[in-house]
Amino acid sequence: MDFHLSPETAAWREELRTFLAQELPPGFEGDDDFFDNEEQMAFAKEFTKKLGARRWFAPAWPEEYGGMGKTPVEQMVLNEELAYHRAPSGGRLFTIGITGPTLMVHGNEEQKQRFLPGMASGEVWYCQGFSEPESGSDLASMQTRAVRDGDDYVINGQKIWTSNAHVADMMMLLARTNPDVPKHKGISAFMVDMTAPGVSVQGIDNIASRHDFNQVFFEDVRVPAENLVGGVDHGWYVATTTLDFERSNIAAISGARRTVHDLIRWAKETHPGGRPWDKPGVRHKLGDLAVEAEVGRLVAYRTVWLQSKGEIPNYEASLGKIWMAMMGIKVANTGLNLLGAYGQLEPGSRWAQLQGRLRTAYLLAMSGPIGGGTSEVQKNIVAQRGLGLPRGT
């Protein structure tokens, strides 16, 4: 792997930084909860459309689908800069990072022409309908049903932990189309309009009192058969592709790097009792975090390098997922302890340090080893597909 960026990619990074300096308000620190704040949500939509108008929302996609034909590495640089500067995500992970690339692998040409341009423009946001109340790590045990009826499929069931469903326009949904075959072989994938009759969304507040998660209910929802992706009963292959793209996301690592850099800056400032940076133990802990953040960044770079060669990362993406989950916990824990009692103050509190971001990060980090596939599952993937070890009995 070549760790050097080409002159063109380096220039692209500088162009992005110039754009962000112009479009983000002075001193912009982002908002961890764009989807619960109407003002921030409006800003996120406006910002997303500005990216789309420049074809920057999905620059690595072919021009006929709304992109610029740039390389996956250049797409990664965009994602990295947006996350580092805490720019509004606009559902980027599920729309551009997951659904779009999966559709390019498994969708037919008509579906690509119909769905991809709306994603690339930043006007149509997606969510992912996978988990169910009784189907988490054992995803193939899902019970949501899709039954063919003429030119449509009729869907009934429930999804849970559906991130951003309350602001999404479309969903990539997995449903059981054949209950009489082994569970992995009877699943199909669909593109579902979230405004279709029979779709209802109920919010779930997480431990940080944020509305990221949702339950989504389907009651006799009619989905055109032309929205079936990858063929009947081939949804498991669509799902594994989707998860590989999800787990190779660089945004979490880039966000962690930004938090580490913020902590270093904060530690070098004078506070009651002196500068934390003057204590060797503080410097050592922050140095460890800086090293581990760079390691995570390089793991993500390797994953994208594989994508640039036309490969779909598998165990490499799982390695990144494990590392990102560990990093999230370690950065939040170290940061919260470094801030002391101030770290417990919530965002908006008068004396909160670093906008109260570490408190929120600490609460949310606990879900890192669970969401998107548990760390135990990821380690099994690495062991079996990466190291060639046998499956346990």
Q: What is the pLDDT of residues 344-389, one digit of tens each?
A: 998 888 999 998 889 999 998 988 898 778 899 889 999 999 999 9
Residues 71 and 201 reside in one and the same domain: no
Residues 137 and 58 reside in one and the same domain: no
- pLDDT of 64 > 90? The answer is yes
Residues 253 and 347 reside in one and the same domain: yes
Confidence at 179, pLDDT banded by 50, 70, 90: very high
Token pair, residue 4, equals: 């050097």
Residues 38 and 146 reside in one and the same domain: no
Does 281 fall in a domain?
A: yes
Please compute the mean of the pLDDT values over residues 102-128 and round it to a whole number: 95
C-alpha dist (Å) from residue 294 to 53, 256, 257, 261:
32, 10, 8, 12
246 part of the active site? yes
Residue type, 224: P
Rounded CA separation 361/124 (Å): 28
Q: How many CA atoms lie within 13 A of 210 on its CB side?
A: 19
Does 78 fall in a domain?
A: yes
- pLDDT of 250 > 90? The answer is no
Residues 159 and 86 reside in one and the same domain: no
Residues 204 and 255 reside in one and the same domain: no
- pLDDT of 112 > 60? The answer is yes
Residues 267 and 355 reside in one and the same domain: yes
Helix (H, G, I), strand (E, B) or coil at 259: helix
Give the pLDDT confidence score for residue 382 in this predicted structure. Answer: 92
Range scoring the smallest mean pLDDT among 34-38, 197-201, 324-328: 34-38
Please compute the mean of the pLDDT values over residues 251-262 and round it to a whole number: 89
Residues 161, 132: contact at Cβ < 8 Å?
Answer: no
- pLDDT of 151 > 70? The answer is yes
- Which of 90, 118, 150 finishes a domain? 90
Rounded CA separation 321/333 (Å): 19
Count of structural domains within the chain: 3
Please compute the mean of the pLDDT values over residues 175-199 and round it to a whole number: 97
Query: What CATH number is associated with residue 47?
Result: 1.10.540.10
Q: What is the pLDDT of residues 6-33, one digit of tens each?
A: 899 999 999 999 999 999 988 777 655 5
**Structural domain of 353:** 248-386
Beta strand 126-129 with 145-149 is unpaired
Q: Given the residues 81, 132, 246, 316, select the one marked as catalytic.
A: 246
Hey, CA dihedral for 307, 311, 317, 319, is it positive or negative? negative
Residues 283 and 357 reside in one and the same domain: yes
Confidence at 34, pLDDT banded by 50, 70, 90: low
- pLDDT of 248 > 70? The answer is no
